[in-house]
Amino acid sequence: MITATLLRRAPARRSCLAQLVRAARNPATTTPVVIARFYSQVRDAAHDSLLENTRNIGIIAHVDAGKTTTTERMLYYSGVTQRVGDVNAGNTVTDFLELERARGITIQSAAITFHWPRQEDCPPGTEPKTVNLIDTPGHQDFRFEVDRCLPILDGAVCIIDSVKGVEAHTERVWTSAHSFRIPRIVYCNKLDREGASFKKAVLEIGSRLKGWPLVCQIPWWEKEHFVGVIDLISQVGYRWKSEREKVRFDPPELKAKLAESNQTLLDEVEVGRQRLIEGLADFDDAVMEEFLAENQDIPASLLKQAIRRAIRVGDGRVIPVFAGSSFRHIGVEPLMDAIADYLPSPTERPDVQVRVGSSRHKLAEYIHEKDKRGSKAHISSVASVFKVYNHPKEGVLSFVRVYHGTLLRNASTFNTHIHAQERPMGILQISASKTQDVQELSVGQIGALRGLKQSRTGDTLVTTVNNKPASHAFRSIQIRQAEIPPPVAFLQVDPFGNVAAQELQTALEDASREDPSLRWSRDPKTDQFTIQGMGKLHLDVSLYNMRQKHKIDAEFGPIEVDYKECLIAPLQPQHSMFDRPVASKPGKASCTITLEPIEPEDHERLLETGVERDGNIFSIEVPPAKVQESLGFDVEEAQHQLLNGAIAGLARGPRRASPVHACHVIITLDASEGAFESPTGGHFSGAARTGVQAALRDAYEKQLVGVLEPIMLTHITCPEAAAGTVQHDITAGAGGIVLEVNDRSAESTGDELIDVSKIWAPSDPYDSVTSLRGKKSMSRMIEIVAKVPYKEMLNYDDHLRSKTSGRHSMTMSFDSFARVVGHREKGL
């Protein structure tokens, strides 16, 4: 019964059924092997069909561009919800945290699964696409939340506010997606707002996102009212009357309608399709052949296939552009069609890159190579943890994407990052706050493992056939991790008593496992905790979440700038011996520590032989292999513990008790006679920690310890009248440097990659009509790009609000650390 049902659902499976029927009619030639082969073909065909109909998609954008509103409309139209969630009303599905609904922003990424088109709308013989969609935050303080989700995506929708255009954080998340070569399309939202300009948005896509905008849809204007969208590829128009009530106009009907009511827009449709074909011909040979043959009627199916091929590479050279207003429901369903039509399935994406030691490989090639060499890998699946979340009902969930094989619910997983074995308590499919148990996850699928106690974001999980031990070749394999930026803000917490201190430590351990960009440390002498984060909002949200889950009895200090300490000059080698009992076990271990500052030009060279942690590079030197055999302890474990000890030693500097940054630590394990005696891991870490701390104290006595402060790359967009004040505040008051001053009201900006003058976009309705809408859109907005010390910008947003009456936007991202000198250093 189950087999027959599966076989009926796709043409490939029906072919297998036909073969099985023919074999059944001739029992003499039918063998168990033949039947087994048929069942294998059925299973493979079902799996291939499932993957081809899967879309792993993320939504990325600047804060308040309409990501969550768009997602809520998608859930509504796909039938997942029966009502439309609204951010202002606080009843959205994806922003299901209490703080998200209170602030009206997305704080953590949410995973949603829906099917599109609806089954009743699918043509005969086709299946709906299964869309796994990740709604990510837009605020810069949660950029790591975006970055850790990007590696598992096969495509992305970038949403742009048509009033504000391409904003600074949009460029940053676009660049992050570009580094992972993720195919992208752009959706110009909020076209119903006063001041919205589709033309300006398209031109900025070309100039700021460094790609060729391929206008696939244009807004349908009736006078100054935005009523629908027109698809240039199929020349079909959609006009909305309400959220569920839209009218479709096929090409003949559309031409008749526009010829009667809007001849200018009809001309734009014809010109726009021709310009789309011309632009696409530069990137696709099939369209070029039709274009050179002067074919006036290129079919829509050929253009769709060409667009799909052009963006599949993920290089961002071609950017399909779509239009709409999600709040008014206009354009959301055509956008969902575009996701299904243009963004790739997991089978169309290149094989994931993995790191084994210092070398990099393609995962499938590496597994095939090891199998070919007879290493008996027995690898059943390889998956990556991209998020850990403490679900209110299910407990700790580890979100994973499977890159190889099939992950079974009862399979024991080996974590290649911490070298630990764990068995999950089940597999779930997540749809925001709703969960559903599943038996397995296959290649390209996304799900959540319940009950893993040690796995963190970025870890790689390996399962083996029959739960056999993973071979040595796969024990250190790691899928690319998202880089965690350094913290720029911190606060100190004083718990009231030992019980409160232990409760706070538990809360911080849970929080930092869910969010690795949140760091913390505990002073063993005073029991004071230091919590570090990506900004004020990040720390506010983290503390709120911890207070919701744990009863923390403590005094919280103000949020301050996270300074670092650094070495000014190299230090002499420092010998360290740790000769004290650890956990009631006597032992002794020795090592030599050498500290030196990292020069920018040496960073890449040092990484070839070292390991980077928290902005410092550690190089561990051990005796040759021949000597290791006679030492009597595990040298690999000793290396691991020496690294842990050195990291702990740099956690608190001698000058301000701030973390040490940009330091190269060379640890040489002493294996000479009498240098070690029955050492445990604690002895090795103790030797490295005390050696590093002694070297830092020596540097402080010699006045070789400096202070670093975070410098932020700041983008401020404000009215022209306030631009002079902002520039004065940055340069004279904050000691910053203004890098650029741009007129954001201009329609074009020069760029060496894209000739903006050649980009086509339809005219806005108020280009030739003087109206209140047009006048508002013409107010000059100035963008100021500067590098400013974070301390001076910590509360500048509130100050700027009074100067601009709230008509400004400010985003900051960490740029670098710079040494504090002169009167500012004395002020510390």
The DSSP annotation for 386-414 comes to: EEEEEETTTEEEEEEEEEEEEEETTPPEE
Please tell me the predicted confidence (pLDDT) of residue 307. 96
Please tell me the predicted confidence (pLDDT) of residue 9. 42
* 61/77 same-domain check: yes
Terminal Cα distance for the chain, rounded: 76
Give 254-267 pLDDT, tens digit per residue: 999 998 888 889 99
* Phi-psi domain of 419 (left: phi exceeds 0; alpha: psi -120 through 50; beta: other): left
Domain assignment present for residue 340? The answer is yes
* 361/258 same-domain check: no
Q: Which residue has the higher pLDDT, 187 or 628?
A: 187
Classify the C-alpha dihedral 168-179-611-619 as positive or negative: negative
Classify the C-alpha dihedral 796-798-800-806 as positive or negative: positive
Q: Write the DSSP symbol of residue 282.
A: T
pLDDT band at 321 (very low <50, low <70, confident <90, very high): very high
Q: What share of the chain is helix, strand, coil (3-state, %, to 5)?
A: 35, 30, 35
Q: What average pLDDT does range 724-743 have in this prediction?
A: 88
Please tell me the predicted confidence (pLDDT) of residue 375. 55
For residues 765 and 265, what is the distance between their CA atoms, to the nearest angstrom? 10
End of a domain among 306, 330, 348?
348
For residues 381 and 413, what is the distance between their CA atoms, to the nearest angstrom? 9
State both tokens at 422: 């764990």
Please tell me the predicted confidence (pLDDT) of residue 683. 94
Please tell me the predicted confidence (pLDDT) of residue 283. 93
For residues 465 and 408, what is the distance between their CA atoms, to the nearest angstrom? 10
Please tell me the predicted confidence (pLDDT) of residue 433. 61
**Is the bond preceding residue 219 a cis peptide, omega within 30 degrees?**
no
Asked if residue 134 lies in contact with residue 163, where contact means CB atoms within 8 angstroms, the answer is: no
| pTM (predicted TM-score) | 0.74
State both tokens at 558: 């103000």
Q: How far is CA 563 from the centre of its chain?
A: 27
pLDDT band at 765 (very low <50, low <70, confident <90, very high): confident
Strand 155-161 and strand 184-189: pairing?
parallel
pLDDT band at 744 (very low <50, low <70, confident <90, very high): confident
pLDDT band at 745 (very low <50, low <70, confident <90, very high): low
Domain assignment present for residue 16? The answer is yes
Domain assignment present for residue 317? The answer is yes
End of a domain among 703, 736, 766?
703
Return the H-helix or E-strand segment holding 712.
Answer: strand 705-719
Interacting residues of 81 by C-beta distance below 8 A, sequence separation 6+:
72, 75, 93
Q: What is the mean pLDDT of the chain?
A: 83
413 phi and psi angles, rounded to 5 deg: -100, 140
CATH number of the domain residue 64 falls in:
3.40.50.300
Is 744 in a helix, a strand, or coil? coil
pLDDT band at 320 (very low <50, low <70, confident <90, very high): very high
Q: Which residue has the higher pLDDT, 735 or 575?
A: 575
Place of tokens 């909020």: 190
Return the H-helix or E-strand segment holding 267.
Answer: helix 263-281
Kindly report which listed range (80-94, 106-120, 605-619) carries the lowest average pLDDT score: 80-94
Q: Which residue has the higher pLDDT, 209 or 244?
A: 209
Q: Write the CA distances from 530 to 36, 533, 652, 819, integer angstroms.
A: 61, 10, 11, 22
Does residue 816 carry a pLDDT above 80?
yes
* 188/275 same-domain check: yes
Does residue 96 carry a pLDDT above 60?
no
Residue 439 CB-half CA count within 13 A: 0
Place of tokens 């991790």: 481
Please tell me the predicted confidence (pLDDT) of residue 810. 82
Please tell me the predicted confidence (pLDDT) of residue 13. 43
Q: Write the CA distances from 389 to 100, 223, 504, 513, 530, integer angstroms.
A: 15, 49, 18, 9, 23
* 361/444 same-domain check: yes
Does residue 21 carry a pLDDT above 70?
no
Please tell me the predicted confidence (pLDDT) of residue 31. 45
For residues 308 and 302, what is the distance between their CA atoms, to the nearest angstrom? 10
Domain count, the chain: 6
* 200/164 same-domain check: yes
Asked if residue 694 lies in contact with residue 647, where contact means CB atoms within 8 angstroms, the answer is: no
Q: What average pLDDT does range 594-616 have in this prediction?
A: 89
Asked if residue 454 lies in contact with residue 434, where contact means CB atoms within 8 angstroms, the answer is: no
* 295/181 same-domain check: yes
* 180/299 same-domain check: yes
End of a domain among 348, 383, 406?
348
Please tell me the predicted confidence (pLDDT) of residue 711. 92
Share of the chain above pLDDT 90, in %: 38
pLDDT band at 85 (very low <50, low <70, confident <90, very high): low
For residues 786 and 597, what is the distance between their CA atoms, to the nearest angstrom? 27
Please tell me the predicted confidence (pLDDT) of residue 204. 92
CATH number of the domain residue 496 falls in:
3.30.70.870
> ∠698-703-705 over CA atoms, to 5°?
80
State both tokens at 733: 């008051």
For residues 595 and 567, what is the distance between their CA atoms, to the nearest angstrom? 8
CATH number of the domain residue 685 falls in:
3.30.230.10
Helix extents (H) in 343-495: 363-372
* 741/790 same-domain check: yes
For residues 350 and 402, what is the distance between their CA atoms, to the nearest angstrom? 14
Domain assignment present for residue 362? The answer is yes
* 43/188 same-domain check: no
Among candidate residues 5, 8, 2, 115, the one with its CA nearest the CA of residue 53: 115
Please tell me the predicted confidence (pLDDT) of residue 212. 94
Share of the chain above pLDDT 70, in %: 85
Return the H-helix or E-strand segment holding 2.
Answer: helix 2-7
For residues 790 and 799, what is the distance between their CA atoms, to the nearest angstrom? 15
Please tell me the predicted confidence (pLDDT) of residue 11. 43
Interacting residues of 825 by C-beta distance below 8 A, sequence separation 6+:
707
Please tell me the predicted confidence (pLDDT) of residue 162. 93
Asked if residue 216 lies in contact with residue 330, where contact means CB atoms within 8 angstroms, the answer is: no
Q: Write the CA distances from 774 to 195, 218, 769, integer angstroms.
A: 7, 19, 7
Interacting residues of 653 by C-beta distance below 8 A, sequence separation 6+:
564, 565, 659, 660, 696, 705
Please tell me the predicted confidence (pLDDT) of residue 821. 83
For residues 814 and 62, what is the distance between their CA atoms, to the nearest angstrom? 16
Q: Which residue has the higher pLDDT, 668 or 8?
A: 668
pLDDT band at 245 (very low <50, low <70, confident <90, very high): confident
**What ranges make up the beta strands (E) of 143-210?**
155-161, 184-189
Please tell me the predicted confidence (pLDDT) of residue 660. 94
Q: Which residue has the higher pLDDT, 492 or 31?
A: 492
Domain assignment present for residue 170? The answer is yes
Q: What average pLDDT does range 166-189 have in this prediction?
A: 89
State both tokens at 642: 């020496």
Asked if residue 414 lies in contact with residue 475, where contact means CB atoms within 8 angstroms, the answer is: yes
Q: What average pLDDT does range 746-751 have in this prediction?
A: 44
Which of 12-16, 366-370, 688-692, 797-801 is predicted most confidently?
Answer: 688-692
Residue 158: give the domain boundaries.
53-348
Interacting residues of 210 by C-beta distance below 8 A, sequence separation 6+:
316, 751, 753, 754
Please tell me the predicted confidence (pLDDT) of residue 308. 95
* 46/59 same-domain check: no
Q: What average pLDDT does range 609-626 have in this prediction?
A: 87
* Torsion angle in degrees (nearest 10) through CA of 95, 97, 102, 108: -60
Per-residue burial over 473-492, b if 16 or more Cβ lie within 10 Å, else e, is: bbeebebbbbebebbbbbbb
Q: Which residue has the higher pLDDT, 328 or 28?
A: 328
Residue 725 CB-half CA count within 13 A: 13
DSSP lists the bridge partners of residue 22 as none
Q: Which residue has the higher pLDDT, 44 or 332?
A: 332
* 62/128 same-domain check: yes
For residues 300 and 234, what is the distance between their CA atoms, to the nearest angstrom? 5
State both tokens at 318: 């071609």
Q: What average pLDDT does range 305-321 have in this prediction?
A: 94
Among candidate residues 387, 261, 231, 244, the one with its CA nearest the CA of residue 322: 231
Please tell me the predicted confidence (pLDDT) of residue 617. 94
Among candidate residues 381, 421, 429, the one with its CA nearest the CA of residue 405: 381
Domain assignment present for residue 392? The answer is yes
Domain assignment present for residue 484? The answer is no
pLDDT band at 139 (very low <50, low <70, confident <90, very high): low
SS3 annotation, 223-262: CCEEEEEEECCCCEEEEECCCCCEEEECHHHHHHHHHHHC
Domain assignment present for residue 370? The answer is yes
Give 407-459 pLDDT, tens digit per residue: 998 899 999 988 889 999 999 887 656 778 999 998 888 888 998 988 888 88
* 295/422 same-domain check: no
Among candidate residues 315, 215, 332, 190, the one with its CA nearest the CA of residue 274: 215
Give 495-554 pLDDT, tens digit per residue: 999 999 999 999 999 888 888 888 888 888 888 898 988 888 888 888 888 888 888 889
SS3 annotation, 90-155: CCCCCCCCHHHHHHCCCCCCEEEEEEECCHHHCCCCCCCEEEEEEECCCCHHHHHHHHCCHHHCCE
Kindly report which listed range (130-144, 290-304, 542-556) carries the lowest average pLDDT score: 130-144
For residues 480 and 350, what is the distance between their CA atoms, to the nearest angstrom? 14
